[in-house]
Structure 1
């Protein structure tokens, strides 16, 4: 998934940083769906190269699921 995903919480949306260039939206969805229903993943990409820029936003249906994912994964290495 990446060097060290470090999600931070904002309501039901997690900001995830430390992602590598080989990650894609489906990988992020699969990884975070262990913690609850993921409704949206925005993976920031470079405008010219289309490669991931190392961060994403993951939106959960339930804010408690988002909070649990952030507490569990913050600073973890995968």
Structure 2
């Protein structure tokens, strides 16, 4: 269940990106995911880390967008 769910999320998340990059990110993601599931059963913890990672990525994207916006205005 969790495998297919993560798979669908990843397909939606990386649809707009390059295929090579998608497969690389997907492989790394699934490796970490399966590692935590099998070794420690820390799925909630993993989800929490994933959420923090997404927040950091979104914040970086926002900062870059604001810099571009400011540079065009000035």
- Shorter-chain TM-score category? 0.3 to 0.5
When Rg is computed on C-alpha atoms for both structures, the one with the higher figure is 2
Q: What is the TM-score with the length of structure 2 in the denominator?
A: 0.33
Higher relative contact order (CA 8 A, sep 6+): 1
Structure (1/2) with the larger strand percentage: 1
Structure (1/2) with the larger helix percentage: 2
Q: What is the TM-score with the length of structure 1 in the denominator?
A: 0.32
